Homo-oligomer: A and B are copies of this chain.
């Protein structure tokens, strides 16, 4: 009989599972994350692992949360001290490019990969991914509006158009980095953003 684990130990095990899950899911997709393989890599049983989450879908939802946590830590939280408006928007985009450039997660942006994988389905995982995307666009929207009202972007700026184009730059960055290992891609992303964010 194994000794009873403390609450702290349980949380630590849960975190170990999530960290490994996120690495696997980023590289090979949320569906490629299988219970058996994950258990083997962590040196524990499938049943022991599932005890922390209940079902595979619950594990997937926890991984989406964990990916959001990593992204929020690496991008918006890093530029919290910048004055809001255009300076903050520019730094948010730079942190975003840097996040993809440094390959914080293997396989690039978890959300890009997971969104492409789940956008044709229905269910709670898809909804969670769509929710995170919407939340992040809301963040960008706030910064852009502020930049416009500060007079740092043209008064006739089409806010949704700008969000669309910024996202396109980031999706292309992820594409060229992951598929082509194109080292020039971050430079291209920064150049495109500079043009988009200059009055």
Sorted nearest first, the 7 A-B pairs with minimum C-beta distance are A168-B172, A168-B168, A171-B171, A116-B116, A119-B178, A107-B120, A164-B188
Which residue of B is nearest A27, CB measured?
A: B120
Q: Which of A65-100 contact B (CB under 8 A)?
A: none
Contact A164 B171 (CB under 8 A): no
> Which residues of chain B come closer than 8 Å to A117, judged between CB atoms?
29, 113, 116-117
Please encode chain A, from 147 to 168, with 1 for each CB lying within 8 Å of some chain B CB and 0 for all others: 0000000000010110011011
Q: How far is the CB of A2 from chain B (nearest CB, A)?
A: 36
Contact B133 A179 (CB under 8 A): yes
Residue from B112, B175, B184, B189 within 8 A of A160 (CB atoms): B184
Q: How far is the CB of A135 from chain B (nearest CB, A)?
A: 13
**Residues A188 and B167 in contact in the complex (CB < 8 Å), given A120-B28, A120-B107, A179-B115:** no
> Which residues of chain B come closer than 8 Å to A116, judged between CB atoms?
112-113, 116-117, 178
Distance of A175 Cα from B179 Cα, bound (Å): 18
Contact B171 A185 (CB under 8 A): no
Q: How far is the CB of A133 from chain B (nearest CB, A)?
A: 6
Instruction: Report if A169 contacts B (CB, 8 A).
Output: yes
- Mind listing 16 A-B residue pairs with CB under 8 Å? A28-B120, A31-B31, A107-B119, A108-B120, A113-B116, A113-B117, A116-B178, A130-B179, A160-B184, A160-B188, A164-B185, A165-B168, A165-B188, A165-B192, A168-B170, A171-B175
Contact B115 A175 (CB under 8 A): yes
Which residue of B is nearest A185, CB measured?
A: B164
